[in-house]
């Protein structure tokens, strides 16, 4: 039996466009005499559709599109399509109005519907808001092969692998009790750094534990702050890798199920195994590039703008944008103040030359004087300080937004995760923008990415990598005037934000108590800023985005200190 994985990049809500992508894959599969085509979770509407699901008209349109797709598909091909189905008993028995479902399309009809059993409600997931869990066994028979159907989270509850159960049932055990021959999983699993290794280890364990071949199909593409990396794969029942799709791009992958051996073939001429990335930096780079490309494209922009300071953050964002959109679609704006060093202006110019992007020079010195004159009476007898420094950032933000509005460019903001964590960013200034490209990338990782990018030729100017980071808002200023060294700060933030360590645990790791408490206070006080930030591309398992739900008015320090 021939099976094809269709690793598509859907646009959320584009029912017709997504159906066409599935149909195009089906037509190729039919030419290759494939028996079964697999598509990702909610492939018809894209994942996550969020509150679009609360619109009855959207749900009805999805059903109509599904029926039309069934009639358009090649007659001899069976297709699994991710969709939603109404819960017909919700008004009688209670429960959520919808199921997260997979439709079995065959010979022009919707032959069966399978419902997701395990509904995640953690991090970026909120499926209990919309869906009722399925209760019936999910399987069908094709070419005398009994195929069990699971949907994303249904695979993530193996108590042997995790050492615990997060849900009361394990759908894989249920399918094995029904003696299925093959398990397929339709997923929309968001990317985080290193997650693919975890996925493959988990499914290899499951395949070997239950002696069942497993095919895992993942969505690809950027949807708002989430990146889906694809990298669909399959294991045979002895835990051998049968195939792996490419990362961060669409793919169409064919494999064979040997009915005599009741297993997936290994080393078939059909099988393709895309290599894993050589480094974490390379993987993160591809994620960020895809995130920018899809955000710009799916929001119907074509060109972007950003401020070029000559610093490392704006340099890496410009490089990412250029890789994502092409040099002709990126505009860098240099906005030097009287405090900007000549070397910073040269670094920005050198970067632009290396990337081949257009630049504009808009000095802000005269605008700063205008603000000084306007505030002269009100600020009399006060010292130059944070207010005056931040005005420079807000002037730059206004200029960038003016250009964005005039020409229809999307403004990219350039703040990194370390800055976003401790509030080292200016509201209505350098936080302006439609997408925060590196908001989930710590400062130390920014340096690592730049060194990786320069591995074959200089793209990020060497001086950018060696000079002390500075906002240049006053003479001689450097970031470490008000922040600890980034190696120290990022480790404290990792322990606090990602590892949920208490203040006492962080101090026990060797950090000064006063410093730890100061960092915690900065993180807590910056929550109101983060709430007003543009969406940021998620690359870690704890990002300041959809999955970050912290109160603004709270006493973090007391909470963290209490957790000893």
pLDDT recorded at residue 31: 96
Q: What is the pLDDT of residue 341?
A: 85
β-bridge mates for residue 364, sequence order: none
Catalytic residue among 152, 243, 246, 425: 152
pLDDT tens over the chain, length 564 residues: 999 999 999 999 999 999 999 999 999 999 999 999 999 999 999 999 999 999 999 999 999 999 999 999 999 999 999 999 999 888 888 899 999 999 999 999 999 999 999 999 999 999 999 999 999 989 999 999 999 999 999 999 999 999 999 999 999 999 999 999 999 999 999 999 999 999 999 999 999 999 999 999 999 999 999 999 999 999 999 999 999 999 999 999 999 999 999 999 987 666 789 999 999 999 999 999 999 999 999 999 999 999 999 999 999 999 999 999 999 999 999 999 998 888 889 999 999 999 999 999 999 999 999 999 999 999 999 998 889 999 999 999 999 999 999 999 999 999 999 999 999 999 999 999 999 999 999 999 999 999 999 999 999 999 999 988 877 667 776 777 778 999 999 999 999 999 999 999 999 999 999 999 999 999 999 999 999 999 999 999 999 999 998 888 887 666 666 655
Q: Where are the alpha helices (DSSP H) in 105-167?
A: 159-162
**Residue 491 has what pLDDT?**
97
Structure tokens at 237: 């029942």
- In this prediction the pTM is 0.95
**Is omega for the bond preceding 48 within 30 degrees of 0, making it cis?**
yes
Distance CA 115, CA 98 (A): 10
Question: Residue 80's closest CA among 17, 150, 158, 15?
Answer: 150
Question: CA-CA distance, 176 to 172, in Å (whole number)?
Answer: 6
- Count of helices and strands (H, E) across the chain: 19, 20
Residue 560, CA distances (Å) to 61, 296, 341, 496 in order:
48, 38, 41, 9
Residue set of the binding site for ATP = 307-314, 414
CA distance 471 to 116: 49
> Which of 176, 245, 167 has its CA nearest to residue 206?
176
Bridge partners (DSSP) listed for residue 223:
226
Q: Using the CB atoms, write b or e for 449-462: b if 16+ within 10 Å.
A: bbebbbeeeebbbe
pLDDT for residue 564: 52
Check if 116 is active-site. yes
Q: Give the Cα separation of 308 and 315 in Å (integer).
A: 7
Binding residues: 122, 189, 195, 307-314, 390, 414, 419, 529
Dihedrals phi, psi of 241, to nearest 5 degrees: -70, 125
Active site residue 152: yes
Quote the pLDDT of residue 553.
Answer: 86
CA 54/CA 57 separation, integer angstroms: 9
Is 41 designated active site? yes
220 and 228 in contact (C-beta within 8 Å)? yes
Give the residue numbers of the binding site for L-glutamine: 122, 189, 195
Binding site per annotation, positions for deamido-NAD(+): 390, 419, 529
- 331 phi and psi angles, rounded to 5 deg: -120, 125
């Amino acid at each position: 039996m021939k099976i094809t994985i269709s690793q598509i990049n859907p646009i959320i809500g584009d029912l017709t466009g997504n159906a066409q992508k599935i149909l195009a894959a089906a037509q190729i599969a039919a030419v290759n005499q494939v028996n079964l085509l697999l598509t990702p979770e909610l492939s018809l509407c894209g994942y996550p559709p969020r509150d679009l699901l609360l619109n009855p008209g959207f749900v009805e349109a999805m059903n109509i599109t599904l029926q039309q797709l069934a009639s358009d598909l090649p007659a001899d091909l069976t297709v699994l399509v991710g969709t939603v189905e109404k819960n017909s008993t919700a008004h009688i028995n209670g429960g959520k109005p919808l199921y997260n479902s997979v439709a079995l399309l065959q010979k022009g009809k919707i032959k069966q519907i399978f419902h997701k059993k395990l509904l995640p409600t953690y991090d970026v997931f909120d499926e209990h808001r919309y869906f009722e869990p399925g209760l019936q066994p999910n399987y069908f028979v094709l070419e005398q092969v009994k195929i069990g159907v699971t949907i994303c989270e249904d695979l993530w509850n193996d108590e042997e692998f995790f050492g615990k159960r997060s849900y009361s049932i394990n759908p894989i055990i249920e399918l094995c009790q029904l003696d299925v021959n093959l398990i397929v999983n339709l997923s929309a699993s968001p990317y985080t750094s290193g997650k693919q290794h975890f996925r493959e280890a988990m499914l290899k364990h499951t395949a070997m534990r239950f002696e069942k071949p497993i095919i895992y199909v993942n969505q690809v593409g950027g949807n708002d702050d989430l990146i889906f990396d694809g990298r669909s794969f399959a294991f045979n029942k002895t835990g051998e890798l049968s195939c792996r799709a490419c990362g961060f791009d669409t793919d169409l992958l064919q494999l064979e199920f040997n009915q005599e051996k009741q297993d997936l073939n290994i080393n078939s001429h059909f099988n393709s195994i895309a290599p894993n990335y050589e480094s974490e930096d390379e993987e993160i780079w591809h994620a960020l590039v895809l995130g920018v490309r899809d955000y710009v494209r799916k929001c119907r922009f074509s060109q972007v703008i950003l401020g070029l300071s000559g610093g490392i953050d704006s340099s890496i964002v410009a490089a990412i944008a250029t890789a994502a959109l092409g040099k002709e679609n990126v505009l860098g704006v240099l906005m030097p103040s009287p405090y900007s060093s000549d070397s910073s202006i040269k670094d920005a110019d050198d970067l632009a030359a290396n990337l081949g992007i257009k630049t504009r020079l808009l000095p802000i010195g005269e605008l700063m004087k205008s603000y000084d004159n306007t505030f002269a009476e009100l600020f009399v007898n006060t010292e130059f300080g944070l207010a005056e420094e931040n005005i420079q950032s807000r002037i730059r933000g206004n200029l960038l937004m003016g250009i964005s509005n005039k020409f229809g460019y999307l403004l990219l903001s350039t703040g990194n995760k370390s800055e976003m964590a401790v509030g080292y960013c200016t509201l209505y200034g350098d936080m302006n923008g439609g997408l925060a490209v590196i908001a989930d990338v710590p400062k130390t990782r920014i340096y690592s990415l730049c060194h990786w990018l320069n591995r074959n030729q200089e793209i990020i100017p060497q001086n950018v990598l060696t000079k002390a980071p500075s906002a240049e808002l006053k003479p001689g200023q450097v970031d470490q005037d008000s922040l600890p060294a980034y190696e120290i700060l990022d480790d404290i933030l990792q322990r606090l934000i990602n590892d949920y360590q208490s203040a006492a645990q962080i101090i026990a790791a060797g950090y000064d108590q006063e410093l730890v408490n100061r960092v915690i206070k900065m993180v807590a006080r910056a929550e109101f800023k983060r709430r007003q930030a543009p969406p940021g591309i998620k690359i870690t398992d704890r990002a300041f985005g959809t999955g970050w739900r912290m109160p603004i008015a709270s006493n973090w320090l007391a909470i963290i200190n209490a957790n000893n």
